[in-house]
Structure 1
Amino acid sequence: MTTDTPLPLAGIQVLEIGGGAAGAYCGRLLADAGATVRVTALDEPHRLAGIVRADTPAERAYADYLGAGKLLLPAVADAPALQALSRQADLVLVGEDLGDRVAAYLGAATGDDVGATALLTTPRVASIALSWFGQRGVYRHWRGSDLGVQSLTGMPQMAGAVDGPPLAAGDRQATALAGVTAYIAACAALLGAARRPTDAPRRLDVSILEANMVMAEMHMYFFGKDGLAMKRCGLNRFAPNSPVGIYPCQTGWVGITVATPDQWRALCRALDLHEQAGDEGLATRELRFARLDEVEAVLCQALARRTADEWAAIGRQHRVPIVVVPDAEGILLHPIFKHRQSLVEMASGGRQLQVPRTPFGLTATPIRSRLDAPAPATAEPDTTPGPLPVAAVPAAAVPIAVAATNAPPLQGFTLVDFSMGWAGPLASRLMADLGAEVLKIEAGRYPDWWRGMNWTPEFIEGLQYELSTTFCGLNRGKQGVSIDLTTAAGRQLALTLVAGADAVVENQAAGVMAKFGLDHAQLVQARPDLVMVSMSAFGTGNAWSDTRAYGSTLEQGSGLPSLTGVPGTAPTMTHLAHGDPVGGLFGCAALLTALVHRQRCGSGQYVNLSMVEAMLQLTTPGLLAHQLEPGAPRRRGNRRDGMAPHGLYPAAGTDQWLAVAVDSAQAFAALAQLLGRPDWAADPALRGLAGRQAREDEIDAAISAWSRQQPAEQAAARLQAAGVIAAGLQHAQHLAANAHLASADFYIDLDRAVSGPQRQGGVAILQDGQRLGARQPAPLLGEHSWPVLQRHAGLTSAQFDTLVQQGVISLSPKPERNLVSAPAQAPALAGSGT
């Protein structure tokens, strides 16, 4: 690999202990950012455990993808050898699929295999141990898989046909999200190491299930708001939003998302739907959902007049979220992906394949633009002691204040948050959860849209904008500051706050920050070493930069729906806002990468993050298969190429489902015994994956007949006890009361003024055995304006009062958009709310 620019983590030494796809993905991100990653194993036959599940070209290519840019070490002979290797590393990664090999390796039984391995290592900064379900809790000894984790988050329950089966998202997604979460933990540890009063390494634990709970938060909060059980509404239908879906055009498909009254009116103008524009019975998303068959029929008739590319361009002109939904070949040929170099070449099996590039968007220190095959390690790592291998830290580097021994890793960092909605606020909330001070900027004229979309007088007078459970969940731990950025005084206050901050995050529409006089060129005049992250659908500086987007738009635009679902159906979404939590995780990862570079080298930078590129990461298995096996079916419902049987099966009760994933001959034999089919357990033809796939319909029917006779949780426990990966599919109403998550101390319970008590999803990172996470409720509108502006901007009480009188600072909403009169009542919708 060659590069013309420095890599942000150059010099960082990492030891990765395989196997497991989540740990390997974290190591790949570190390698892409410039770290030297050496991979060892506890024994050679299991180096690729959980990574290569079948001897197929696509599985081997995915292993090459995860190993790209890494150096391969032989398996370690014993515990002292592992200790010696770990002392040469800044970070040690422990993969999640080590299983009982740890006990054999140690020569003793242990109930905490991954944790025991982490304790055997003494890196300079931290060990990061991944596991499927964490080191404590009811499921801690369970076997895991992508399908099992997705089912426990409840995500598939909302996707697919009304009568089932529910539809899981694509392969390798749970491990990818856990891998980027572990990467966040690693970067936070690097940042915190310089502030610690001791050189003792941290131990960080990341649960794959907990990392994926970010996908479930919205469902959990919607149920907590209105108490209505959320229901599966059909293919590409997600209450209460309408229209949100994927629709055929003259050629190709487009994804459309309309949430606000203003967007509906704009969509009607774009599609020449004059009658619908004037229909007050379609003014809100709830009213439109009640007439969704009618709405979608009109849309499809209008969309048939033009191509998908033409409609996407019209959507940009009218500021409506409309985007082309590419298929696999369309991803490889995508004009914006080519412009941004979103795909890179990777060597595998003597071929050059295209795969998604790590989507950090760093402009001064870009990540790798080419992926070399893993190679044997030929040089000894840097053994210089100390957490920061770069010896010379320029005088311009940020002064570092010493934190308490048990402090969260980002204590002492300050972030100014100009973002709204989900993705940006999730990125900044993760910063708060890790200890950073986060200043959330809103204004009475432009409040965060999660507070509300239909601003009736009754909504404002009843303080309903303070009742949004989703806003509360995404903004805990932040200081709320109300500043009207359209005024000169407001802009100056913002510049003053930025001058004292380490970083800025924003996800405004293209050109908005520049209109405020707060784009990167302006902000670096206030803080020359600032790290600024702009989070948008397709990134800034290209022909599609002005695309309006929600989380659904990001999923649609990535092409992932073309790889999901069953043959003969439209490209299929698996979440109302899939791209938001994924974009938030990668936004936080990119921000921390830039901060690590700044702390080591003294220079900030602009981060031009495309959240569609973040979603592209999840298309990797499908893209590899498409290139290696052109024409092979890519959309197989809940079945997977690397496991069989694999799917969601009916259980006792209404809309109850059991996830089962068989990954070995041993697991299938155990399943066959439970099914009362010892002949299958003894059948040599069924010991191999191909043999089971050839009879998958027959096997699925037998599992369904067995599973529908018992509750899903009971069946899952029986299967897990026999060594078979299984889980009951969770519903939204159960997400806040999961026995495992409760016993693992995952939840955060907060009580907030106006909105009252709320159970929230926690952060998936434990530091030295203690759960990280902010414990301060989300701010009321402008709640902390006075203390923050007094402390950071030096305002006097008289100056503050004057700014309030002038409307520069406002403590109540005065919105200028999405104003509607109280409409006719729509039927109550499962999961409605904001």
Structure 2
Amino acid sequence: MEVLSHLRVLEIGSSAAASYCARLFSDFGANVRKVECPAGDPIRRSAPLTPHGQSGWFAFLNLNKSSVILDATDPNAVAQLTALIEDCDVLVDGRDIDSADCPAIDIAAIRQRCPGLIYVEASWFGREGPYARFAATDSTIRALAGLIKLAGPAEGPPFHAPDFQCGILAGLWGFIAAASSAVAGMRGPGRGRSWSLSIFESSLALSEYQMFEAYQRGDVMRRIGINRFWPNFPVGIYETKKGWLGITTITPAQWRAFCDMLSLSELRDDPAMVLGADRLQYMEQIERQFIPRLKTRTAQEWFLEGLKRKIPIVPVPEISDLLVDAQMKGRGAIVPVLLDQEKGLTVGSMQRLTSTPPRRGGKVPRLGEQQTISSRRRHLSDTKSTSSGRIDAGEPPLRGIRVIDFSMGWAGPLCTRTLADLGADVIKIEAIQYPDWWRGVDRRPAYIKDRMYEKTARFCMANRNKRGITLDLTRQQGLTLAKRLAAGADVVVDNYSADVLPKLGLGYDVLRKLNPRLVMMSMSAFGTNSVRRNCRAYGSTLEQGSGLPSVTGKADGPPVMSHIAFGDAVGGLNGCAAVLVALIHARSTGQGQFIDLAQIECMMPFAAPWITVHSIDRTPPVRYGNRHPQFVPHGCFRCAGEDNWIVIAATDASMWQRLAALIGRYDWAIDTSLSSAEQRRGIEDVIESSIESWTLTRDPDQAMSDLQLAKVAAGVARLPIDLLNDPHLRSRGYLQEVERAFIGLHPQPSMPIREGEAPFAIRTPAPTLGQHNNEILSGFLGLSSAEIAHLAREGVIGTEMVSEAELAKAKYAASDQQFNSIAPKRDPSGADRPLGA
């Protein structure tokens, strides 16, 4: 039986966020019913379209659901809808985005009668705050979220990727809310949970890293060109002899290897170009030297060469390349789909659970088609529970879940941070020899002496609400303790390369023997069985290899990246969703499993509409730049002042008329020949010119205010630093002030999902290095003070980062000892016995 087959999910209203949330349930067998008006969900008409007029976007969002027609004019409509809701376990409500003629109902009254109901309500900005009633689109949300202004040519306008991003991000967050509620419900009978989901705040998962870099470093980020991003260079997409190549060079070692690969010894040895931030000052000079050399070989040839040298580079695929990728099909990243009479391919589930895998493809429901209604009814409270008692209404949903966190950087820590925010006890494992690289990779004496590794805002952002210990996993004592921690845990997470933990002796084959109920997730870049499993990758690499850049930008331009490190946050949220599904299964059956999550696959939903349509019509996808296949006008327009921009979209005829009147073109407002977007497309240049003449005379916030008063979708293109003082976020308490050693009071972002008016509180700041060694080793594992002191003397644990010189000395001593020792000598004191035994 599929892992979520006991759940019934109902989706109402028209919202990509709600649809994707519900799609994630259907991937694992939930019975998902979608309520539509007689005209159908408006998303059914969203471009791109197949030859028979089927929407690729709708197909991806609604795989394996049923469609239920409900006519709001029917006198029995409210009663019918109420009956559907009372018959479900999870209600996903997108009516605040677009009611799609769904009847008004009293949700509070229904929840009184059905206290176990899990309810997720999506809105653009949340119920309260200055933006609460703003008209919005995917692109205006991304503009306000700081995701547009830094991409594109330096002179402007900023480039932004096509729609479909916000719905996926918010849908993931909605699923996390609902699935965590389902986990909580398995502790015993109790109340359901009611969640509000802000699509705007959901999108900040992508920009929070740059927001907090700006908090620490100041206003240093600017748009510096197509496929160029602060603070590293080169990070971008470049032309080769055949195909495009995604390149990311972060560390000095990667830069040296990149220069060696291209025989650029002069650049390699220049002390002014060691760090990525330094190289930004010489971008043109550096590109003049390496771009011609890249054109001497193909993207695939450079990829293979980079693989040998451990450089994060990857061929940038066209949509057609993804469709013939045997590995993508083999892993279920590309799956078959039936759209009425058309057979095609679409993007499958990213949550690659190995024992209870997701569905591999399926059917898109025709309007009114009941295709998955089951005859069996089972409620959450009927499921086997590992504990008894009622759910405390004030408890976070994941109370009692213990997570061992081997992850570093952004993707893995975001996954485990979200689990911690929802109440899980997350124990983060680092080593004083190799701490989390988001503490910094600088090992020079001054950096160590000043404890700079305790002062990085990005580490604090990604690791709040966790407890932290240090263990040297290359030593037997550290390895033994890590195994004991895993033996008492519910979840283990890592985002190393696929072979790292298995080589250390911490692979799933080892840990499941110690703990059969353990859920273990590997979050490698390409998957444990991938031919690219040894390829180094960052979040930028994942976007470069996802197919999304091939549909972003202008038709005559290169593939365009939309956001540096995009893939990290997306991988982290998908990882959290996968863990929650596996926990539901483990709580029900007592059996854990391995999750083989490939972060590259987590990026593919953003290209899903084009993948679906291209699989059927084989026509190369159209690249619209900042324009839109359905909305005219749609673009990014310059405002008064230096580098000020606003995104504006007219999504229907009435919004177009209000926009035309606002900018003084009353003749356009009453001209019936311009009532449709296709009619306006013929004069799109003229329309855009008139809009920009109007915006150029206004401050961007004033322009947004005037447009929103006229109910025209508009959003100022913000920089990440602007979000620290955004009036809407401030009014909602999105940034919470937290006190921490070494840095003092600092802001922390809230989750975009809430169970009340206030966000989930940040309980504890990020741990200092080894902060909870004594607490966990003594309290959880039962070690004595003498044993803990011995571990500290041996360097197995500690609270201070090891310098480069100390690390080299330790490596030399270890190799020297290995050379001179025929067999390990036993400590007569018994100190090498299993600790805590």
TM norm structure 2: 0.91
Q: CA–CA distance in 1 between the matches of 2:135 and 2:193?
A: 26
Residue 48 of structure 1 corresponds to: 41
Mapped contact 1:124–1:385 kept (Cα < 8 A): no
Choose 665-674 or 683-692, whichever is displaced more.
683-692
Task: Return the match for 1:741 from 717, 720, 729.
Answer: 729
- Decide whether aligned partners of structure 1 residues 54 and 244 sit closer, same or farther in structure 2, where only a CA change above 3 A counts: closer
Indicate if the aligned counterparts of 2:8 and 2:90 stay in contact, CA closer than 8 A: yes
Aligned to 1:110: none
Q: Secondary structure at the match of 1:558?
A: coil
Pick aligned residue for 2:161 from 154, 163, 169 = 169
In structure 2, give the amino acid aligned to 1:129. E
Deviation per residue, 1:49-79 (Å, 9 max, x gap): 4553479547623223322211122216443
1:297 partnered with 2:297: no
- Taking the TM superposition and a 5 Å limit, the aligned residue runs for 1:337-736 are 337-374=328-365, 376-377=369-370, 384=377, 386-388=379-381, 390=383, 393=384, 398-399=386-387, 404-627=392-615, 630-631=618-619, 634-736=622-724
Provide, for residues 141-176 of structure 1, a one-character-per-residue CA deviation record: whole Å limited to 9, x for no partner: 112210111011111011001111111122111111
The secondary structure found in structure 1 opposite 2:10 is strand
Q: In the aligned structure 2, how far is the partner of 1:84 from the partner of 1:161? A: 54
Change in Cα spacing, 1:318 to 1:400, as seen in structure 2 (3 Å) is farther
In 2, the alpha carbon distance for the partners of 1:59 and 1:297 equals 46
Q: Contact 2:48–2:610 (CA<8 Å) still a contact in 1?
A: no
Who is 2:194 aligned against? Answer: 203
Contact 1:91–1:125 (CA under 8 A) maintained in structure 2:
yes
Question: Quick one: distance in 2 between partners of 1:441 and 1:71?
Answer: 44
| Residue of structure 2 equivalent to 1:792 | 780
Matched, 1:189 2:181: yes
Per the TM alignment, residue 519 of structure 1 is displaced from its structure 2 partner at its CA by 1.1
The offset of 1:501, in angstroms, is 0.8
> Once structures 1 and 2 are overlaid, which stretch shifts more, 50-59 or 323-332?
50-59
Matched letter for residue 653 of structure 1? G
User: Relative to 1, partners in 2 of residues 1:257 and 1:61: Cα closer, same or farther, differing over 3 Å?
Assistant: closer
1:741 CA displacement = 1.3
SS at match of 1:228: coil
Distance 1:819 1:567, change over 3 A: farther
Paired position in structure 2 for 1:157? 149
- Equivalent in the alignment of 1:128: 120
Whether the 8 Å contact between 2:66 and 2:372 is mirrored in structure 1 is no
CA apart distance, 1:235: 0.9
Q: Compare CA radii of gyration and give the structure with the larger one.
A: 2
Between the aligned partners of 1:258 and 1:817, the Cα distance in structure 2 is: 25
Which position in structure 1 is the counterpart of 2:88? 89
Q: Kindly state the Cα deviation for residue 123 of structure 1 after the two structures are TM-superposed.
A: 6.7
Is residue 308 of structure 1 aligned with residue 299 of structure 2? yes
State the match for 1:827 in structure 2.
Answer: none
| CA-CA distance at 1:510 after TM superposition | 2.8
CA distance in structure 1 between the aligned counterparts of 2:134 and 2:788, rounded to whole angstroms: 56
Moved more, 574-583 or 72-81: 72-81
| 3-state SS in 2 of match to 1:572 | coil
Rate the CA distance shift 1:264–1:55 in 2: closer, same or farther, 3 A.
closer
Query: For 1:534-554, what per-residue CA distance to the aligned partner results, in whole angstroms no more than 9, with x for missing partners?
Result: 111111112111111100000
CA offset digits 1:335-380 (Å, max 9, x no partner):
4323323101111252212111111111111101022121522786
Among candidates 14, 19, 30, match of residue 9 of structure 2: 14
Question: Displacement, 1:39?
Answer: 1.4
CA distance in 2 between counterparts of 1:367 and 1:818 reads: 48
1:31 to 26, 29, 33: 26
1:831 is matched with none
Q: Residues 381 and 515 of structure 1: is their aligned pair in 2 closer, same or farther, counting only changes over 3 Å?
A: closer
Q: Is the 8 A contact 1:89 1:124 kept in 2?
A: no
Equivalent in 141, 145, 149 of residue 137 of structure 2: 145
Distance 2:269 2:190 in 1: 67
Distance 1:549 1:147, change over 3 A: same
Where 1:206 maps in the other structure, the secondary structure is strand
Q: 1:406 to 1:802 in 2, by over 3 A?
A: same
Return the alpha-carbon distance in structure 2 between the equivalents of residues 335 and 703 of structure 1: 47
Once residues 473 and 487 of structure 2 are traced to their aligned partners in structure 1, the CA distance between those partners, rounded to angstroms, is 16
Q: Summarize the Cα distance change of 1:378–1:354 in structure 2 as closer, same or farther, 3 Å threshold.
A: closer
Match of 1:323 in 2: 314
The CA distance in 2 between the partners of 1:817 and 1:675, in whole Å, is 65
Give the 5 Å matches for 1:67-86.
67-75=62-70, 77-86=76-85
Q: Is the 8 A contact 1:538 1:611 kept in 2?
A: yes
After superposition, the Cα gap between the structure-2 partners of 1:536 and 1:118, relative to the gap in structure 1 and judged at 3 Å, is: farther
Residue 215 of structure 2: which of 208, 217, 224 is its match? 224
C-alpha distance in 2 between matches for 1:641 and 1:628: 19
Alpha-carbon shift at residue 15 of structure 1 (Å): 1.1
Q: C-alpha offsets along residues 167-226 of structure 1, whole Å, 9 cap, x if unaligned?
A: 112211111110111011111010011236x63321111110111111110121111101
Q: 1:259 aligns with which of 243, 250, 253?
A: 250
What residue is the counterpart of 1:823 in the other structure?
Answer: none
Of 767, 771, 785, the residue aligned with 2:755 is 767
Output the TM-score relative to the length of structure 1. Answer: 0.92
Check conservation: 2:233, 2:250, Cα contact below 8 A: yes
Alignment root-mean-square deviation, CA? 2.4
Alpha-carbon displacement from aligned partner over 1:413-467 (angstroms, at most 9, x marks no partner): 0111111111111111110111111111111111111111332211111111111
- Note if contact 1:345-1:371 (Cα within 8 Å) is conserved in structure 2: yes
Gap regions ≥5 residues in structure 2: 809-837
Q: Is the 8 A contact 2:159 2:626 kept in 1?
A: yes
Q: Report the alpha carbon displacement of residue 817 of structure 1 after superposing the two structures with TM.
A: 10
How many residues end up aligned between the 2 structures? 800
The one-letter amino acid of 1:387's match is: L
**In structure 2, what is the equivalent of residue 830 of structure 1?**
none
8 Å contact 1:91–1:123 — kept in the other structure? no
Do the aligned partners of 2:122 and 2:199 also contact (CA within 8 Å) in 1? Answer: yes
Pairwise CA distance, 1:797: 1.2
Q: What is the DSSP-based 3-state SS (H/G/I as helix, E as strand, rest coil) of the residue aligned with 2:194?
A: strand
1:24-59 per-residue CA deviation (whole Å, 9 max, x = no partner) reads: 111111111110001114x434x4145534795476
Secondary structure of 2:597's partner? strand
Q: Which amino acid aligns with 1:646?
A: H
Equivalent-residue separation in structure 2 for 1:348 and 1:818 (angstroms):
62
Does the 8 Å CA contact 2:118/2:178 hold for their aligned counterparts? yes
Partner Cα distance (2:262, 2:356) in 1: 43
Q: Single out whichever of 74-83 and 539-548 deviates more from structure 2.
A: 74-83
Distance (whole Å) between structure 1 residues aligned to residue 184 and residue 584 of structure 2: 10
Structure 1 residues 55, 499: closer, same or farther in 2, change over 3 A?
closer
In the aligned structure 2, how far is the partner of 1:210 from the partner of 1:284? Answer: 33
After the TM superposition, which of the residue ranges 794-803 and 810-819 deviates more from structure 2?
A: 810-819
Check if 1:65 corresponds to 2:70: no
Amino acid of the structure 2 residue aligned with 1:232: R
Does structure 1 conserve the Cα–Cα contact (< 8 Å) formed by 2:117 and 2:193? yes
Task: Provide the rounded CA distance (Å) in 2 between the counterparts of 1:55 and 1:326.
Answer: 19
Amino acid aligned to 1:635: R
Letter matched to residue 86 of structure 1: I
Distance 2:308 2:48 in 1: 49
Which residue in the other structure is 2:766 paired with? 778
CA separation in 2, counterparts of 1:52 and 1:14? 24
Aligned partners of 1:142 and 1:748: how far apart in 2?
Answer: 24
For the 8 Å contact 2:18–2:94, the answer to whether it is kept is yes
